[in-house]
């Protein structure tokens, strides 16, 4: 379980998050929604320590993440997939995955590679291809697969649907839903594509100008015309 309370964060004099609090339940998807500039990316960056919180608490299990150095977070089971699908284009698909699975002993557990290939058969089919030939959707699968190589307990995913065809988005979201159900992974999913995110989320948090304005079960928000129109534009 991930619990934020009273989290504020800034870029210089510009405050991007104001007193943010919510709980992302274990083994579920929590969707973080909101307009451009609402603070969604900053929220993920604050959870993973890339942006230092000015105040407040971010607890993951029994750990206070605001007092944990960023390098130690993978060891605690936290994986962050930023926006932008940053694969290493000169390396093969399998090499990219192996980089994600390197442990302290510099070894990759073969069963992790098998698990990722079973989730993304396309990555197995193209394991020897260099990553630069992959489409946007395939790169998105590769960055998620690379994060899963470390056997995370908490996956922070920033805008995985950005720029992808609806069919590919549906495929990726189906897979995320399955992952959570099968592996008990906790996911915080930042999305502009609220409709798709709500279809797999258990809870939904909406940010507006850096503040939480909605924190509800996802199906409640999906059915609430007033809230949807006010904050999600559909
Ligand atoms: P988007 O969907 O466009 O990525 P977002 O909801 O993820 O938006 P953030 O990127 O977290 O929003 O931005 C929140 C606020 O912080 C915005 O006002 C933005 O202009 C500001 N901001 C973001 N990154 C920086 C930065 N590196 N330096 C200064 N201000 C920033």
DSSP assignment of 207-222 equals EETTEEEEEEEHHHHH
| Domain locations in the chain as residue ranges | 1-76+194-234
The protein residue with its alpha carbon nearest to ligand 1, atom 25, reads 11
b vs e for 173-191, b when ≥16 Cβ sit within 10 Å of the residue's Cβ? bebbeebbeeeebbbbbbb
Is 115 close to ligand 1, i.e. is its CB under 6 Å away?
Answer: no
CATH number of the domain located at residue range(s) 1-76+194-234 in this protein: 3.40.50.300
Q: In angstroms, what is the span from residue 43 Cα to ligand 1's centroid?
A: 10
| pLDDT tens digit at each of 234 positions of the chain | 999 999 999 999 999 999 999 999 999 999 999 999 999 999 999 999 999 999 999 999 889 999 888 888 888 899 999 987 788 999 999 999 999 888 767 777 888 899 999 999 999 999 999 999 999 999 999 999 999 999 999 999 999 999 899 999 999 999 888 888 888 899 999 999 999 999 999 999 999 999 999 999 999 999 999 999 998 888
19, 211 Cβ separation under 8 angstroms: yes
Pocket test for ligand 1, best of 8, 20, 34, 38 (most atoms within 8 A of CB): 38
Is 36 close to ligand 1, i.e. is its CB under 6 Å away?
Answer: yes
Residues in the chain: 234
Say how many C-beta atoms besides its own lie within 10 A of residue 126's C-beta: 19
- What residues contact 111, with CB distance under 8 A and at least 6 apart? none
Q: Which residue has the tokens 């920033």?
A: 158
d(CA 87, CA 227): 37
Is 14 close to ligand 1, i.e. is its CB under 6 Å away?
Answer: yes
190, 158 Cβ separation under 8 angstroms: yes
pLDDT tens track for 166-198:
999 999 999 888 888 888 899 999 999 999 999
Instruction: Name the 3-class secondary structure at 186.
Output: strand
Q: Which residue has the tokens 């579920």?
A: 28
- The CA distances from residue 19 to 5, 57, 191, 209, 232, in Å, are 7, 10, 21, 11, 21
d(CA 76, CA 178): 23
Instruction: Name the 3-class secondary structure at 37.
Output: coil
- Intra-chain end-to-end CA distance of the chain, in Å: 30
Atom of ligand 1 nearest to the CA of 11: 29
The protein residue with its alpha carbon nearest to ligand 1, atom 27, reads 11
pTM of the model: 0.94
Pocket test for ligand 1, best of 7, 20, 40, 160 (most atoms within 8 A of CB): 40
């Amino acid at each position: 379980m991930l619990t934020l309370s009273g989290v504020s964060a800034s870029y210089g004099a510009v405050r991007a998050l104001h007193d943010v609090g919510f709980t992302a339940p274990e083994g579920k998807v929590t969707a973080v929604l909101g307009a451009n500039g609402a603070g969604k990316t900053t929220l993920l960056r604050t959870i993973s320590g890339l942006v230092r919180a000015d105040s407040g608490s971010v607890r993951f299990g029994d750990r206070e993440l605001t007092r944990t150095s960023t390098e130690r977070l993978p060891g605690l089971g936290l994986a962050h997939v930023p926006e932008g699908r940053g694969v290493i284009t000169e390396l093969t698909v399998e090499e990219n995955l192996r980089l994600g699975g390197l442990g302290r002993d510099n070894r990759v557990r073969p069963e992790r590679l098998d698990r990722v290939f079973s989730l993304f058969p396309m990555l197995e089919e193209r394991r020897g291809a260099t990553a630069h030939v992959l489409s946007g959707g395939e790169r998105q699968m590769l960055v998620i697969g690379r994060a899963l190589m470390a056997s995370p307990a908490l996956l922070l995913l920033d805008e995985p649907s950005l720029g992808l065809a609806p069919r590919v988005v549906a495929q990726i979201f189906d897979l995320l839903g399955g992952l959570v159900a099968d592996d008990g992974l906790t996911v915080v999913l930042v999305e502009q594509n609220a409709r798709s995110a709500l279809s797999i989320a258990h809870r939904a948090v909406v940010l507006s100008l850096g503040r939480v304005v909605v924190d509800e079960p996802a199906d409640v928000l999906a059915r609430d015309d007033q809230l949807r129109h006010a904050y999600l534009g559909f």
